[in-house]
Structure 1
């Protein structure tokens, strides 16, 4: 990915936010503390980056806001509990994978990448910060008593397998851990038995052989989780594309609305800028770690396979009707997808044509 293009999108906020500590006013001097749980597992590259970002917040905010980080399952034991903990104020915030709320907020499947949709991080920053998708996301989350502060980039997802898989056809009959929503529905069309598991449960499931393969995030974190010990194969998209099903697996910072409103307007703006800056910092750090991790996987004897263009074409053909089915689940999903569809049809991207969409309507 072109890092410079992403830097250009967020430069104004990120440079200002990172250059100097926030200067608080007298009214806010007492400060507030947020407890924020991430879906990153403790000890992984992702959680270490998140933990450092949180721990630096008190100094950067001039003492006005302290953020205490928690790893996955530390306070809320699972994803449903995490959502409710933030909604009710047990936790003040969360750093989840946005896709996890597909069952609660159908539009959330369009707030992170999905099968054969926009597949570059810069495209997602453009939609959020240039085309109005951030405003939409905040309006949708406000209905749940939540403030969607902003997207956080980290990586694509790849599949680790105990058995060789080199094509979509070879997935038939395999039991594979995948996220829910659109991703599972598309893979099921190719005969995959999909299984939903949190990240911390993937290693034991692979070790015991209760699943044949598992999608999770990118090479760096997956190596941290020990996937090289229980699998020998990695499946990616064509050269230059790590994933065709979830190439930009966005996280976010979501905050309890009451906690958000207790911040001063200046502090709210500061937090937003910090999230933009952290998105770039985390993305670049994880991409570097991925490079190192691939060498470690190779040393462990892992074989990498890549899907061919015929697989990409078949996957897109299967995915498009699923896009529209999810877009019609409610009015919020429809309007977010409409923004993305217009972007994908625009000559800038040219991802889909009217011929591709024949027979589909919102």
Structure 2
């Protein structure tokens, strides 16, 4: 099912902002790590189309899917170095630069919904804080998009924390590996694009890949017949970040179009994930997939482990401390605090 937001705003931007930009044209080379047929991949294709329509063709985007140019974790540097113009992968790939990057993309055990995270980004000071960090690397953060909580998938039962002992799974780099290792699992950091082959060959027992719907799109449940839902462990947000000199060279109208299209992408992805997760939930049992809804006690055990790790990470750099304190304050502000 394909969901697209078409609003009067898009038409107004196309007529007003596009005309205001004059004859200047913009061409951007952007890489994402999503498969084009996945939920996120289809929403990204809509983003490209929306930008082109709203700019009346003045902005052209060459979008590379599935990390076609460089490995996912290398996208940020490829944009900063001029191989690409923008990065549409995930900030947590850059935790080797500074642990603060973890808290750009995924607090783990923090927010319950994507809308809460988006509120932190857009009205809670998150965007400004992220750009303080990104400016050191010649990059500018434009916006974020995340559909919802991710679902673990596995070739063996994963009914609760006791099943994590010696469970080999694909983990993204960063804080998640430490949290799951503390709970007895054996995380293996590998590129997003390697998950399917690693499951197929038995290198891993399972994976933290994405939402239920995206996992279906990737074909993961053809192999892994166990999954968690609703998700609880991770809600990792992808980003749009561009090399600062490229971004600053754009006309203000072009910037506004891209920023608006990114927000539409974020909203569409939330809606699509909500609907498609529900559809997947209904269909998976027929495919022989067992679905595990962890108990409140098991979820609390994970959240406690995650937030304990927050504080350990906060001690690593002053920037990380700023992010942790920002998230804690905003979680309290919106009534999620204990």
Give matches, 1:1-362, under 5 Å: 16-17=9-10, 19-21=12-14, 22-24=16-18, 28-76=22-70, 78-236=71-229, 242-246=230-234, 248-346=235-333, 348-352=334-338
CA contact (8 A) 2:76 2:86 kept: no
Structure-2 change in CA distance of 1:16 and 1:52 (3 Å):
closer
Q: Distance in 1 between matches of 2:191 and 2:248?
A: 31
Write out per-residue CA displacement over residues 189-241 of structure 1, whole angstroms, 9 at most, x where no aligned residue. 111100112222111211111111111111211111111211111123xxxxx
Equivalent position SS for 2:17 = coil
1:350 deviates by 4.2
Equivalent position SS for 2:240 = strand
CA contact (8 A) 1:28 1:264 kept: no
The aligned counterpart of 1:356 is none
CA root-mean-square deviation: 2.1
1:318 deviates by 1.8
Write out per-residue CA displacement over residues 311-334 of structure 1, whole angstroms, 9 at most, x where no aligned residue. 122222322221012122222211
Q: Distance in 2 between matches of 1:309 and 1:55?
A: 42
CA contact (8 A) 1:15 1:277 kept: no
CA contact (8 A) 2:209 2:215 kept: yes
Q: TM-score, normalised by structure 2?
A: 0.91
CA contact (8 A) 2:154 2:206 kept: yes
Write out per-residue CA displacement over residues 60-94 of structure 1, whole angstroms, 9 at most, x where no aligned residue. 11233111211022112x12331221001211112
Aligned length: 332
The aligned counterpart of 1:360 is none
Q: Distance in 2 between matches of 1:232 and 1:91?
A: 38
Q: Distance in 2 between matches of 1:41 and 1:96?
A: 12
CA contact (8 A) 1:98 1:108 kept: yes
Q: TM-score, normalised by structure 1?
A: 0.86
1:112 deviates by 2.5
Q: Distance in 1 between matches of 2:277 and 2:29?
A: 29
1:152 deviates by 1.2
More helix by share: 2
Structure 1 portions without partners, runs of 5+: 1-10, 237-241, 353-362
Q: Distance in 2 between matches of 1:180 and 1:316?
A: 19
1:20 deviates by 4.0
Structure-2 change in CA distance of 1:38 and 1:349 (3 Å):
same
**Range with greater deviation from structure 2 (131-140 or 51-60):** 51-60
Q: Distance in 2 between matches of 1:26 and 1:288?
A: 37
CA contact (8 A) 1:29 1:63 kept: no
**Range with greater deviation from structure 2 (18-27 or 320-329):** 18-27
Structure 2 portions without partners, runs of 5+: none
Equivalent position SS for 1:195 = strand
Q: Distance in 2 between matches of 1:70 and 1:109?
A: 24
CA contact (8 A) 2:33 2:193 kept: no
The aligned counterpart of 1:355 is none
